C-alpha cells in the first residue's frame, strides 16, 4: 500500500524578515559565570511565493520591544531587514540555546548565515536535531554539520538535513504539489489524494444546500430575530432542523471514499451493498465542485446497487446536500419542498 505523502514543500526562494541585532546564548540555570553569548538576528522565514506568511513575517518583524536604559524601561520598535535569497544548502548550523515555551513546548535556537543575512537566529526542531545526533553527531561548539535546506513541513518552516528521511518526504511532497491536476474524470476511476485516501468517481450529480443548517432537540418552532426559520421535520423523529432557505440546484462531481470495512476479512472495500447496506455511512459520499486529484491508480465497475444507494431519495440522511442529491438538475427532496429557493 502506498505511504501517505507528508504535507509540505521545499521552496525555491526564501524571504527573511530579520529583527534588530540582539544577544542570545547559554547560561547555567543556578550558577553564575560561564555564559556563552552570540550576536544574532532573530528571523522569520517564509516561502517567497506565500503572500500570507510573508504578511505574518512583516508584522512579526515590526513588533515593538522593551529594554532597560539605566533604570528606565524604554519601548523601541524594530527597524528590521527584509532579505530575499535562493533556498540553497547551508552547513554548520550552530546551536545557541534551548528555549522553553508555553505548555511545555521546546525549541532549540540556532544561528547561521543565510544568503546575505549574517547570524540569522531561528528554530531547530527536536526531530531534526536528533536526526543530526544519530547520523552525524554534534561537533564541539554545538555545530550541526548538515548540509541543510529549509522546508515547509506541515505549517512550519524549518531546516531539514539533506539526505535525511524527512528531506526525502519533502522532495516527494514538492513533486506532488507541482504535478498537474486531473482535468477529466472517468466513471469508475479510482483516485487518491496526498494522504493516499482512495475515491472512486461515480459521475456528475446535482444538489442543493441549506444555509445555516441547524438541528434542534425540541419539537417547538425555533424563533430568531422575531422571525420563524424554515423547519424540516424528518418522519418519526423528535429532532428537527432549521434553515434560512434552499440554494439553487448546482452541479457536483460525486465520489465515494473507500472507507467501509468488510467484517469478514477486515479489509476496506467500496461497499458490499446487498449485504451490508444498513451499516454503510453516507458520510463517504463526497460532492466536490472542482476536484483537485492528481493521481489515478485504477478503475472499477460501478454496480447499479451502489449507484442506487448513493442517489437514494427514500432514506433521509439528515444532510441537505445528500438528501437533495440527484442525477438530474432541479430535483428537490419532498421533505424540503416547502422551503423557498434563495
Angstrom distance (rounded) from CA 163 to CA 60: 32
Is 291 among the domain residues? yes
Q: Which of 134, 158, 178 is where one domain is finished?
A: 178
On whether both 89 and 195 belong to a single domain, the answer is no
d(C-alpha 18, C-alpha 261), whole Å: 52
Domain shared by 19 and 159, yes or no: yes
**Domain boundary residue among 117, 149, 178?**
178
Report the chain's mean pLDDT, rounded to a whole number.
Answer: 87
* Rounded distance between C-alpha atoms, residue 1 and residue 331, angstroms: 40
Average pLDDT for 286-302 = 92
Verify that 174 and 195 share a domain, yes or no: no
Q: Which domain covers residue 237, as residue numbers?
A: 189-336
Phi/psi of residue 83, nearest 5 degrees: -125, 130
Residue 76 covered by a domain:
yes
Q: Are residues 144 and 235 in the same domain?
A: no
pLDDT higher than threshold 80 for residue 280: no
Q: Name the residue with higher pLDDT: 14 or 77.
A: 14
Asked if 57 and 151 sit in the same domain, the reply is: yes
- pLDDT range class, residue 284, cuts 50, 70, 90: confident
151 and 45 together in one domain: yes
pLDDT at 249: 97
Q: Which three cell numbers stand for residue 259?
A: 472507507
CA 195/CA 154 separation, integer angstroms: 13
Half-sphere exposure of 313 (CA within 13 A, CB side): 13
Tell me the CA distances in angstroms from 42 to 34, 45, 272, one per residue in order: 23, 10, 58
Based on the fold, state whether residues 174 and 194 are members of the same structural domain: no
CA distances from 87 to 25, 26, 141, 172, 324 (A): 26, 29, 25, 17, 50
For β-strands 240-243 and 250-257, DSSP reports them as unpaired
Model pLDDT, residue 301: 85
**Which of the listed residues 133, 154, 178 is the one where a domain comes to its end?**
178
| Higher pLDDT, residue 215 or 95 | 95
Q: Note whether 331 and 231 are same-domain residues.
A: yes
What pLDDT sits at residue 222?
A: 52
pLDDT at 225: 46
What pLDDT, on the 0 to 100 scale, is given for residue 223? Answer: 53
Residue 321 has pLDDT above 80, yes or no: yes
Residue 55 has pLDDT above 80, yes or no: yes
Which triple of cell numbers denotes residue 331? Answer: 430535483
**183 inside domain:** no
Using the predicted structure, report yes or no on whether residue 278 has a pLDDT greater than 50. no
pLDDT tens profile 239-276: 888 999 999 999 999 998 876 545 555 555 554 444 33
Q: Which residues contact 156 (CB under 8 A, 6 or more apart)?
A: 125
Give the lowest-confidence range in 65-74, 87-96, 105-114, 141-150. Answer: 65-74
Q: Are residues 171 and 217 in the same domain?
A: no
In the chain, the number of structural domains is 2
**Does residue 233 surpass a pLDDT of 90?**
no
pTM, two decimals, is 0.73
Q: Answer whether residue 342 is part of any domain.
A: no
**pLDDT band at 6; cut points 50, 70, 90:** confident
Contact 87, 14 (CB under 8 A): yes
CA distance 8 to 102: 25
Secondary structure (DSSP) of 28-93: -SS--S--EEEEEEEEEEEETT-HHHHHHHHHHHT-EEEEEETTEEEEEE---EEEEEE---B--E
The answer to which of 30-44, 210-224, 289-303 has the lowest mean pLDDT is 210-224
Question: pLDDT (tens digit, 9 = 90+) per residue, 104-158?
Answer: 777 899 999 999 999 999 999 999 999 999 999 999 999 999 999 999 999 899 9
Share of the chain above pLDDT 70, in %: 89
Amino acid at each position: 500500500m502506498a505511504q501517505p505523502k507528508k504535507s509540505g514543500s521545499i521552496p525555491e526562494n526564501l524571504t527573511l524578515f530579520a529583527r534588530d541585532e540582539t544577544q542570545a546564548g547559554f547560561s547555567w540555570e543556578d550558577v553564575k559565570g560561564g555564559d556563552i553569548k552570540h550576536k544574532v538576528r532573530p528571523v522569520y522565514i517564509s516561502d517567497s511565493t506565500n503572500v500570507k506568511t510573508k504578511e505574518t513575517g512583516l508584522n512579526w518583524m515590526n513588533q515593538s520591544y522593551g529594554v532597560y536604559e539605566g533604570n528606565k524601561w524604554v519601548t523601541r520598535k524594530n527597524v528590521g531587514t527584509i532579505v530575499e535569497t535562493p533556498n540553497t544548502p547551508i552547513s554548520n548550523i550552530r546551536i545557541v540555546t534551548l528555549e522553553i515555551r508555553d505548555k511545555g513546548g521546546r525549541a532549540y535556537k540556532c544561528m547561521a548565515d543565510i544568503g546575505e543575512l549574517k547570524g540569522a537566529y531561528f528554530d531547530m526542531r527536536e526531530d531534526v536535531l536528533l536526526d543530526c545526533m544519530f547520523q552525524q553527531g554534534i561537533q564541539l561548539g554545538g555545530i550541526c554539520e548538515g548540509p541543510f535546506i529549509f522546508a515547509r513541513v506541515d505549517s512550519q518552516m524549518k531546516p531539514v538535513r539533506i539526505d535525511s528521511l524527512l528531506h526525502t518526504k519533502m522532495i516527494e511532497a514538492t513533486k506532488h504539489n507541482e504535478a498537474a491536476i486531473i482535468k477529466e474524470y472517468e466513471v469508475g476511476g479510482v483516485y487518491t489524494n496526498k494522504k493516499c485516501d482512495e475515491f472512486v468517481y461515480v459521475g456528475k450529480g446535482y444538489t442543493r444546500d441549506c444555509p445555516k443548517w441547524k438541528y434542534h432537540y425540541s419539537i417547538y418552532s425555533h424563533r430568531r430575530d422575531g422571525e420563524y426559520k424554515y423547519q424540516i421535520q424528518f418522519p418519526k423523529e423528535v429532532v428537527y432542523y432549521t434553515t434560512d432557505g434552499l440554494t439553487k440546484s448546482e452541479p457536483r462531481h460525486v465520489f465515494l471514499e473507500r472507507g467501509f470495512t468488510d467484517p469478514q476479512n477486515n479489509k476496506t472495500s467500496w461497499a458490499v451493498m446487498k449485504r451490508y447496506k444498513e451499516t454503510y455511512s453516507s458520510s463517504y459520499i463526497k460532492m466536490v465542485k472542482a476536484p483537485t486529484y492528481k493521481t489515478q491508480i485504477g478503475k472499477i465497475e460501478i454496480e447499479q446497487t451502489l449507484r442506487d444507494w448513493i442517489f437514494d431519495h427514500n432514506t433521509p440522511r439528515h444532510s441537505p446536500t445528500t438528501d437533495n442529491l440527484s442525477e438530474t438538475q432541479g430535483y428537490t427532496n419532498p421533505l424540503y419542498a416547502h422551503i423557498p429557493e434563495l
